[in-house]
Amino acid sequence: MLEPSYRLHEAMDSQIGRAAAEADAILLLLDATRLDDRRDLVTAFVERAQSPIVVALNKTDLLTEEQTMAALERIHGELGLYAIVPISALRVDNLDNLLNVLASFLPLGPQLYPEDMIAEQPERFFVAELIREAAFEKLSDELPYTVQVVIEEFDEPEETTDDATGKRARKTYIDATLYVERDTQKRIVIGKKGARLRDIGRQARERIEALIEAQVYLDLHVKVRRDWRNRDRDLKEFGYR
């Protein structure tokens, strides 16, 4: 949930609205230690929602039993919601119950995908997300939110296997561009003598290799696309519209 401050936020907010309108159920994740966080946004969202809402009250491991009960009563009283499941993601507490509650709101339907299919997005999508994830971890403050990752080339070699490692003998070549909005941001992402960009690339490469089960040569570049979060043409090119 967000308050749009530029075009990218507006596009994201629109996608959130469409997803919520089409959903069989909505999972509302709340932090048990910060119930007042974005309260106006949460209240407005609940009032607009047409689909059933299930609340997952997370971080209850940080509360006493009395505090947890008080939080549940407050959510029920202020938001008028009944399906509230206290959980601790850290301790994996009560997650099975949460899944069962969610399942109770979901209608039965035909199987849409094969049993062995774990995602409908192509590998390129996940590779870009892994690079973005590494950038988030290596950068700070607002800067990661100005980074857009585009996979320029994804060249998989013919299937040959190394007998020793069980992995593909030739490396998969991936060429990716990290777009930022200003020259100063570009310098920060690259870092002194390219050190930060190498760190981003190293971390992303390891995760990509684990994902595709092959050795990877990852070639990263940083380019400036000025004010891309406010430009409709750029947002459309990057898939936000």
Q: Regarding the domain delimited by 7-104, which CATH topology (the fold level of the hierarchy) does it fall under?
A: Rossmann fold (3.40.50)
Residues 102-128: what's their mean pLDDT? 87
Q: Regarding the domain delimited by 123-237, which CATH topology (the fold level of the hierarchy) does it fall under?
A: GMP Synthetase; Chain A, domain 3 (3.30.300)
Phi and psi at residue 96, to the nearest 5°? -60, -40
Domain residue spans of the chain:
7-104, 123-237
Q: What is the pLDDT of residue 2?
A: 75
pTM: 0.69
Measured in Å, how far apart are the chain's first and last C-alpha atoms?
18
| Higher per-residue confidence, 113 vs 60 | 60
Residues 59-85: what's their mean pLDDT? 95
Model confidence at 183: pLDDT above 70 = yes
Model confidence at 160: pLDDT above 60 = no
